[in-house]
Amino acid sequence: MKMNKAKVEEKQEIGKTKFTKEIEEFIPPAHVSTDMYDIEATSGDLSLLSKYHYKFKQDYQATHVVRPGTTEELSNLMKKCREYSIPMTIRAAGSSCYSSSTPTNGGVIIDMRRMDKIYEIDANNKTVRCGAGISWLRLIEALLEYGLGPKCYPTSYKSSCVGGFVVTSGKVGIGVLKNGIMKDAIKSVVLVKTDGSVETISRNSQGDLSLDDIIGSFGIFGAVAEVELQVSSLYTSMEMIGYSFKTFKMAVEFFRILKNNDTNRPFFLSLSDKNFEKYAHWTFPSRTYFVYAVYSDDPSATSQGVSFAKDAALKLDGLGIEDWYLKEKWRNLADTELNIGRWCQNLIFQEYWVSDNRIEDFYNFYTEKISKQKYRNAFYLMSGAKGGNRIKLFGLSDIKNSREFFGIKAVFNDITINNYKNKDNLYTLGVVNTFYFLKYDPERAEYLRKLKNKLDPEDLVNSYRLVKAKMRPWRVGLLFWIAKLLY
């Protein structure tokens, strides 16, 4: 028996070497790595959950990190992986958490960030065609030369890539409230499907996959190699406003007034509590709840938006936030959520998708849940287009205190269940949150599962996302039940 196992391992080893040599024939060897540090660096994410997984499950970890530079290289790589039945994990900047882009079955991490070329900027028709691995920041800089800008992008724009936003839904971020969500801006994508075949998919495509299937797919149907986007002319003015409020009710009312003002829609809109301001910035203003909006348009429309906000805030006893703080806030917007990590050894968070009219109920349930908890917390809401918002709840914990870690996770679990019961859902699913999706949205999950079985019967690409879960609900339930008793 032992001999057999050794032989199997020996065969696998030969296979690995043979596989490595074969892919090095079409991808420069410098971009084919089996180095353990390279693998570690591309295997985790901010939610630190993958760290726990790799500690106990060595076989989750990849054996290769490969960085294709062109659609052809990507296609050949995926064909080769399919030939050897090697699992693939598509990864861009790794900023979408909950193990969205971390390996679960070993195999190859496909790092998309070499696919960062801009193929065409058409200033007349206001379109851009680029590699999916380009960061939003680089795209913004390139478009700037033509007086253009993306219609919307995530606040993680400094690192996160265009392809990552396309497949994680792109419903919340900068520009969405004014210009629509990512889906509205996509003209077409070039997709390398799970078998390595290449297909251009646009709104009128009649193939197996539609654009709607790819948006929010977390990469289970293949790798987006190129994206063609509608962009817009740069606005000629921009101004940020911020008001603080004594009560959550007043802050939400103000937030909704700004959100529903169709004449001057903010370019960016958020609501946060004092803890978020305290942990996310070096300094923070007084009062308890904060609404920030950025107006960007031609100068007269911008100033109309600003005065509209001022009038509305006055009626709700809003206190204007000083200019120096607003400047700091806007400059640091990309870092605010990351800054919270400075305050603890183990940052825990969950992201919820909450409809406009449920924000207060969500908040009341949340405050009731945390009223008996000792952990340090923070609340941050970012507006999506009309109808929905991403609420991010943070728990700051000590890595040595596992009771606290599981205690916070148990609170988030209760809130998640309540959220689904009220017809809302989670924003980021990844690997870890997929079991909630399977339980609470079985029809959508079944639709995706059928497509996945057809296109990727061996489940080699981005497995354990949306259609199949690594975690069992009863085990998670038991874990959180114990956690609540102990914490």
Ligand X SMILES: Cc1cc2nc3c(=O)[nH]c(=O)nc-3n(C[C@H](O)[C@H](O)[C@H](O)COP(=O)(O)OP(=O)(O)OC[C@H]3O[C@@H](n4cnc5c(N)ncnc54)[C@H](O)[C@@H]3O)c2cc1C
- Contact footprint for ligand X (CB under 6 A): 46, 90-96, 100-101, 112, 132, 154-156, 160-161, 163-165, 167-168, 170, 172-173, 218-219, 223-224, 337-338, 382, 462
Spatial contact of 359 and 389, defined as CB atoms under 8 Å apart: yes
Q: How far is the CB of 304 from ligand X (least distance, A)?
A: 26
Q: Which is nearer to ligand X, 95 or 272 (CB)?
A: 95
Instruction: Name the DSSP class of 226.
Output: E
d(CA 195, CA 172): 31
Q: How far is the CB of 17 from ligand X (least distance, A)?
A: 27
Instruction: List, in sequence order, the alpha helices (H) in 25-161.
Output: 36-41, 49-56, 71-83, 136-144
Q: How far is the CB of 164 from ligand X (least distance, A)?
A: 2
Q: Which is nearer to ligand X, 96 or 188 (CB)?
A: 96
Q: How far is the CB of 218 from ligand X (least distance, A)?
A: 4
What is the enclosing helix (H) or strand (E) of 124?
none
Contacts of 467 (CB under 8 A, 6+ apart): 220, 434, 438, 445, 448, 449, 452
Q: Which is nearer to ligand X, 100 or 264 (CB)?
A: 100
Q: Residue 101 — φ and ψ, nearest 5°? A: -120, 30
Q: Which is nearer to ligand X, 71 or 416 (CB)?
A: 71
- What are 192's two structure tokens? 């390398």
d(CA 97, CA 430): 7
Contacts of 410 (CB under 8 A, 6+ apart): 480, 481, 483, 484, 487
Q: How far is the CB of 382 from ligand X (least distance, A)?
A: 6
Q: Which is nearer to ligand X, 224 or 393 (CB)?
A: 224
Q: How far is the CB of 352 from ligand X (least distance, A)?
A: 13
Strands (E), 104-184: 108-111, 118-122, 127-131, 148-150
Q: State which amino acid sits at residue 136.
A: W
Q: Which is nearer to ligand X, 181 or 408 (CB)?
A: 181
Q: How far is the CB of 26 from ligand X (least distance, A)?
A: 19
Q: Which is nearer to ligand X, 219 or 318 (CB)?
A: 219
DSSP string, 401-464: -HHHHHHHHHHHHHHHHHHHHTT-EES--TTTTHHHHHHH-HHHHHHHHHHHHHH-TT--BS-S
For the range 483-487, what are the long-range contacts, defined as Cβ-Cβ under 8 Å and sequence gap of 24 or more? Answer: 483/403, 483/406, 483/407, 483/409, 483/410, 484/407, 484/410, 486/403, 486/406, 486/407, 487/373, 487/403, 487/404, 487/406, 487/407, 487/410
Strands (E), 214-344: 222-233, 237-245, 268-273, 289-297, 319-320
Spatial contact of 419 and 366, defined as CB atoms under 8 Å apart: no
Q: Which is nearer to ligand X, 150 or 407 (CB)?
A: 150
State the Cα angle at 368 between 364 and 370, rounded to 5°: 120
Q: Residue 303 — φ and ψ, nearest 5°? A: -70, -30
Q: Which is nearer to ligand X, 221 or 308 (CB)?
A: 221
Contacts of 104 (CB under 8 A, 6+ apart): 53, 60, 87, 89, 431, 463, 464, 470
Q: Which is nearer to ligand X, 410 or 426 (CB)?
A: 426
Q: How far is the CB of 223 from ligand X (least distance, A)?
A: 4
Q: Which is nearer to ligand X, 250 or 426 (CB)?
A: 426
Residue showing the smallest CB distance to ligand X in the complex? 164
Q: Which is nearer to ligand X, 210 or 288 (CB)?
A: 210
Q: How far is the CB of 205 from ligand X (least distance, A)?
A: 17
Q: How far is the CB of 79 from ligand X (least distance, A)?
A: 16
DSSP string, 173-184: SBTHHHH--HHH
Q: How far is the CB of 227 from ligand X (least distance, A)?
A: 8
Q: How far is the CB of 70 from ligand X (least distance, A)?
A: 13
Distance between start and end Cα atoms, the chain: 46
